[in-house]
A and B are shown apart, each in its own frame.
Chain A
């Protein structure tokens, strides 16, 4: 803040603003080291889902004579029913889960933001139409729809699952963005932009979007959690075919086929995906906490 004060009245360059922003981020993270842990975990999961699967030869090495081996240094989560290292299954299964979550977040954020901004800015008949569509989207029962879709679609690819979850999940964000847009469009800087004759595209993209971007970004992160829970839950419940490399499939097989709830030797096979989901959730929550303070000046402690 002292840097900012020193520059009062001077021309603030874009590079300086960027430097200030990252400096602010770093200070927010350092103030609560748990937030740093969240960022590290997020980076770890990003690495796990993108690079991790490439580090393993396929088919995965295994020893059929050691089915459901106990955790050890060699096998941190033991082995599965075929003697395959559970950690490697976790890493390989993360790609589908995280990619699906990412696609879900992107689709829901893009749709929700676009619909909310346009409806709130334009108002009138277009607003009414878009909001009725939003209401319909909010009332679609996701699970029954997925049950029906699963009879004709195997959801073997992350794109399919991510697209469906994303198309089902943008309604809430659209409503929230619309309400913020309705508030912002009456502010002075928007009036000024209108007065200067700037096009609507500029007003929406450069004047309205930036103030609500932090909210959208945090919403995107939280929708990652929702997407992970939704897809893993669908596979766990057996709504989707219980095959493939996926944390939900691991949970389903562990509980319903291998008796992990009642047999201690099989518990690590169930706990591995559960722990991964827990850590991912914690990571996202901690990062969102940090983002909240970065973007909300009232929460900032200097």
Chain B
């Protein structure tokens, strides 16, 4: 399990934030996107060589007793295979709103981002032969409100939500963004929606659900009661067990046991001519070692990112047909400070630690195949730093490993060295406890290495563990950890990149559409940084306000804000950027050629990507 739990957490965080991306003009087989949307008729040219069984790993552990319901916890509904979205977000470093087609063949966004018009593929059909229609999209939208995700949040003041869903014709639906609190990523919240068949799921909603939804938008007692009703409808849906799997994707669930799920071709899939494997087997696993063994035996046609020791990667690469791909992943590992704890409120101390830690050594020891050492601390992935920060990127302090400068910074903070140990002005030893999570092997190993390095430098340091990620997040939000690992730079959406540093965890939160600031220790503000900071050449800056503005700012203003926030982050170091994650994936080309473009190797909220690649025609039978 280990880092897979971290991977799942990353995926979950990314899903919640609706972070998304896309590019691939050079390698995408799709027809070109226009400025405000896209039209797709043919994801890949011609037909692929068909036949065979494609074997891969399930994204989460299989539950053989669960129904094929995408809303059921651990339900046997697999995105890309027998579960479809309107579109699949591309992994563009800086543009979060480019998509590969799912059930939608066209999507048009109004220039002011106020509406999104989606057209279902004309041949889209459910596996029972029923056409996919606008009614399916509307029912799926209603269900999305019960889940409260993406653009379908009923809380008054929520940002980027859909205020109206209108059926234009049998295949076309228009979504209108709530003008009260718009965001630039509204489109993502719609396109990421899972589409389910209305003739199966509509009966699961209360008869007067449309009126309930309307009432739930009001900020009064009746609205509160309506939201409660909607939430209860969601709970009922989560336990619904359809009699059979009705899929609009390339596959239908045939059978499942505790070891594996078997999916067979859906002849009604609108791009069936692009689907190569006749069947797909999703293997279950209980530990990463199982995946390593499968890969070493050459049994998997594809496996998503899994923590693998470098020696094992070498063994996997030596297996005939096996290939390892390493692509950009919009996630950064940071060592964050709770500035309510002294002396971490002193920027000299934080800078001293940044100089004292040899990040290259840490990454080479902890995660040589999963990340690259951060070149500096900017709050964003190195891959997008130049694109967002422009000239400022070259002016940032790199905080290269330099013990002399670390010593200078500690002395500037009033510390002295006695018998090789750094002492606080009070005469107590300077201690750095580093909090990690049990099971997150890269964090634990990195934490051990950082503690070792700091001890060698004369700073007393040790690592402490939280039993699991949930406890870690709760304790961290309660301000119980002075120093701990924290994911930052969750791109590609500009707001998502910086909200991890200048969002609720640092005091800024959006209530009723308005930004407010809570002092350290209140309302989840565990980082405890100052509300405003002085930045060289800029003056007084409120980083939370700037980050919030990213939701609605013009492209020019976004560039300006990203540069300022990169500089703020570099100068004030609310976290030390440790490493930028790499998206490492494995495939075997003996039976199938799996060759997706780079921007499809990571899709928001989809851990097992082969289903998306298969339906786009990027998997073909070998020979």
- Whether the Cβ atoms of A262 and B292 lie closer than 8 Å is yes
Q: Chain A at the B interface: mostly helix, strand, loop or mixed? A: loop
- Could you give, for residues 426-452 of chain B, a 1 whenever the CB lies within 8 Å of some chain A CB and a 0 otherwise? 000000000000110100110011001
Q: Does B113 contact A (CB under 8 A)?
A: no
Q: Does B32 contact A (CB under 8 A)?
A: no
- Whether the Cβ atoms of B465 and A82 lie closer than 8 Å is no
- Could you give, for residues 59-98 of chain A, a 1 whenever the CB lies within 8 Å of some chain B CB and a 0 otherwise? 1001010010000000000000110000000000000000
CB distance from A59 to the nearest CB of B (A): 4
Pick the contact of A256 from B2, B293, B312, B455 — CB < 8 Å? Answer: B2
**Chain A residues positioned under 8 Å from B309 (CB to CB):** 257-259, 263, 266
Q: Does B464 contact A (CB under 8 A)?
A: yes
- Whether the Cβ atoms of B311 and A263 lie closer than 8 Å is yes
- Whether the Cβ atoms of A262 and B449 lie closer than 8 Å is no
- Could you give, for residues 240-280 of chain B, a 1 whenever the CB lies within 8 Å of some chain A CB and a 0 otherwise? 00000000000000000000000000000000000000000
- Whether the Cβ atoms of B455 and A59 lie closer than 8 Å is yes
Interface size class of B (residues with CB under 8 A): 20 to 34
Q: Does A40 contact B (CB under 8 A)?
A: no
Q: Does A182 contact B (CB under 8 A)?
A: no
- Could you give, for residues 126-151 of chain A, a 1 whenever the CB lies within 8 Å of some chain B CB and a 0 otherwise? 00000000000000000000000011
- Whether the Cβ atoms of A263 and B312 lie closer than 8 Å is yes
- Whether the Cβ atoms of A262 and B452 lie closer than 8 Å is no
Stretch at the interface among A105-113, A209-217, A238-246, A286-294: A238-246
Q: Does B456 contact A (CB under 8 A)?
A: yes
Closest to A83 in B: B365
Which residues of A (247-284) have their CB < 8 Å from a CB of B?
Answer: 256-259, 261-263, 265-266
Q: Does A58 contact B (CB under 8 A)?
A: yes
- Whether the Cβ atoms of B292 and A67 lie closer than 8 Å is no
CB distance from A262 to the nearest CB of B (A): 6
- Provided the pairs A62-B452, A242-B444 are in contact, do residues A81 and B311 lie with their beta carbons within 8 angstroms? no
- Whether the Cβ atoms of A151 and B465 lie closer than 8 Å is no
Pick the contact of A64 from B287, B365, B444, B463 — CB < 8 Å? Answer: B365
Q: How far is the CA of A150 from the CA of B462 in the complex (A)?
A: 19
- Whether the Cβ atoms of A257 and B292 lie closer than 8 Å is no
- Whether the Cβ atoms of A82 and B365 lie closer than 8 Å is yes
CB distance from A68 to the nearest CB of B (A): 8
- Could you give, for residues 454-477 of chain B, a 1 whenever the CB lies within 8 Å of some chain A CB and a 0 otherwise? 011000001111010000000000
- Whether the Cβ atoms of B445 and A59 lie closer than 8 Å is no
Pick the contact of A67 from B2, B293, B312, B365 — CB < 8 Å? Answer: B365
Pick the contact of A257 from B445, B455, B465 — CB < 8 Å? Answer: B445
Pick the contact of B441 from A58, A241, A256, A266 — CB < 8 Å? Answer: A256
- Whether the Cβ atoms of B463 and A262 lie closer than 8 Å is no
Q: How far is the CA of A243 from the CA of B449 in the complex (A)?
A: 12
**Chain A residues positioned under 8 Å from B438 (CB to CB):** 238, 241-242
- Whether the Cβ atoms of A257 and B444 lie closer than 8 Å is yes
Q: Does B128 contact A (CB under 8 A)?
A: no
**Chain B residues positioned under 8 Å from A257 (CB to CB):** 2, 309, 441, 444-445
**Chain B residues positioned under 8 Å from A263 (CB to CB):** 309, 311-312, 315
- Provided the pairs A59-B452, A257-B445 are in contact, do residues A266 and B465 lie with their beta carbons within 8 angstroms? no
- Whether the Cβ atoms of A82 and B452 lie closer than 8 Å is yes
- Whether the Cβ atoms of A243 and B361 lie closer than 8 Å is no
Q: Interface centre among A62, A82, A151, A258, by most B CB within 10 Å? A: A82
Q: How far is the CA of A26 from the CA of B455 in the complex (A)?
A: 48
Pick the contact of A259 from B292, B452, B462, B465 — CB < 8 Å? Answer: B292
- Whether the Cβ atoms of B311 and A265 lie closer than 8 Å is yes
Q: How far is the CA of A299 from the CA of B463 in the complex (A)?
A: 53
CB distance from B417 to the nearest CB of A (A): 16
Q: Does B397 contact A (CB under 8 A)?
A: no
Pick the contact of A81 from B289, B292, B365, B455 — CB < 8 Å? Answer: B365
CB distance from A155 to the nearest CB of B (A): 12
CB distance from B39 to the nearest CB of A (A): 48
**Chain A residues positioned under 8 Å from B293 (CB to CB):** 262
**Chain B residues positioned under 8 Å from A241 (CB to CB):** 438, 464-465, 467
Closest to B309 in A: A259
Q: How far is the CA of A59 from the CA of B450 in the complex (A)?
A: 12
Q: How far is the CA of A64 from the CA of B455 in the complex (A)?
A: 15
- Whether the Cβ atoms of B365 and A262 lie closer than 8 Å is no
Closest to A84 in B: B452
Q: How far is the CA of A81 from the CA of B463 in the complex (A)?
A: 16
**Chain B residues positioned under 8 Å from A238 (CB to CB):** 438-439
**Chain A residues positioned under 8 Å from B439 (CB to CB):** 238
Pick the contact of B445 from A81, A154, A261, A265 — CB < 8 Å? Answer: A81
Q: How far is the CA of A243 from the CA of B461 in the complex (A)?
A: 13
Which residues of A (193-252) have their CB < 8 Å from a CB of B?
Answer: 238, 241-243
**Chain B residues positioned under 8 Å from A64 (CB to CB):** 361, 364-365
- Could you give, for residues 343-371 of chain B, a 1 whenever the CB lies within 8 Å of some chain A CB and a 0 otherwise? 00000000000000000010011000000
CB distance from B75 to the nearest CB of A (A): 29
Q: How far is the CA of A183 from the CA of B118 in the complex (A)?
A: 90
- Whether the Cβ atoms of A242 and B465 lie closer than 8 Å is yes
Closest to B307 in A: A257
**Chain A residues positioned under 8 Å from B296 (CB to CB):** 262
Closest to A258 in B: B309
Which residues of B (107-136) have their CB < 8 Å from a CB of A?
Answer: none
CB distance from B441 to the nearest CB of A (A): 4
Q: How far is the CA of A262 from the CA of B465 in the complex (A)?
A: 27
- Whether the Cβ atoms of B312 and A262 lie closer than 8 Å is yes
Closest to B463 in A: A243
**Chain B residues positioned under 8 Å from A62 (CB to CB):** 452
**Chain B residues positioned under 8 Å from A265 (CB to CB):** 311
CB distance from B165 to the nearest CB of A (A): 45
Q: How far is the CA of A64 from the CA of B293 in the complex (A)?
A: 29
Closest to B296 in A: A262
Q: How far is the CA of A59 from the CA of B365 in the complex (A)?
A: 18
CB distance from A57 to the nearest CB of B (A): 10
CB distance from B69 to the nearest CB of A (A): 33
- Whether the Cβ atoms of B312 and A58 lie closer than 8 Å is no
CB distance from B374 to the nearest CB of A (A): 18
- Whether the Cβ atoms of B311 and A259 lie closer than 8 Å is yes
- Could you give, for residues 402-441 of chain B, a 1 whenever the CB lies within 8 Å of some chain A CB and a 0 otherwise? 0000000000000000000000000000000000001101
**Chain A residues positioned under 8 Å from B311 (CB to CB):** 259, 263, 265-266
**Chain B residues positioned under 8 Å from A150 (CB to CB):** 467
Which residues of B (585-600) have their CB < 8 Å from a CB of A?
Answer: none
- Provided the pairs A259-B309, A263-B309, A265-B311 are in contact, do residues A82 and B448 lie with their beta carbons within 8 angstroms? yes
- List 14 A-B residue pairs with CB atoms under 8 Å apart, sorted by A's residue number: A59-B452, A62-B452, A67-B365, A241-B464, A242-B438, A242-B465, A243-B448, A243-B465, A256-B287, A256-B289, A257-B445, A258-B309, A259-B309, A262-B315
Other 4 A-B pairs with CB < 8 A, given A257-B444, A261-B289: A241-B465, A242-B465, A259-B292, A262-B315
Q: Which 7 A-B pairs have the closest CB atoms?
A: A241-B465, A263-B311, A59-B455, A257-B441, A259-B309, A259-B312, A64-B361
